[in-house]
Amino acid sequence: MRVHDDGTVELLKAGADWRPIAEMTADEVADLVVRTRKAGIPELPAEVPRPETMRGGSECELRTDLDGREVRSIIHGWTESNPPARPSLELVMALSALVSTAQARGTQPS
């Protein structure tokens, strides 16, 4: 899922192109920006390794271009039991809630 500055939310499904699924308000976009910074996404390294003691957990790819800095980071062991993954897990849950709210309003990108 990705969110553009204008509030357009797009979803990418395997084997398909990005498609618009909702449109967030300016306030929702601003909230997402604050949450993204608070989660530390703009400062992530290219890879966050899985702790040596951890088995399992998926991988999550996060991208942002906030503050003019493009970040692409992969978090290995993306699960609540991995402390470095928790901020991004919380961010993804918040994004899901914001998108659900936008979809419930029935706003669709033009």
Residue 107 has pLDDT above 80, yes or no: no
Domain count, the chain: 1
Q: How crowded is residue 78: how many other Cβ atoms within 10 Å of its Cβ?
A: 21
93: its two tokens: 């849950």
Query: Is 61 contained in some domain?
Result: yes
Query: Is 1 contained in some domain?
Result: no
Query: Is 5 contained in some domain?
Result: no
Query: Is 99 contained in some domain?
Result: yes
Query: Is 37 contained in some domain?
Result: yes
Query: Is 59 contained in some domain?
Result: yes
Residue 23 has pLDDT above 60, yes or no: yes
Range of the domain at 35: 25-103
Give the global pTM.
0.85
**Per-residue pLDDT tens over the stretch 40-56:** 999 999 999 998 888 87
> Please, where are the H alpha helices in 40-85?
none
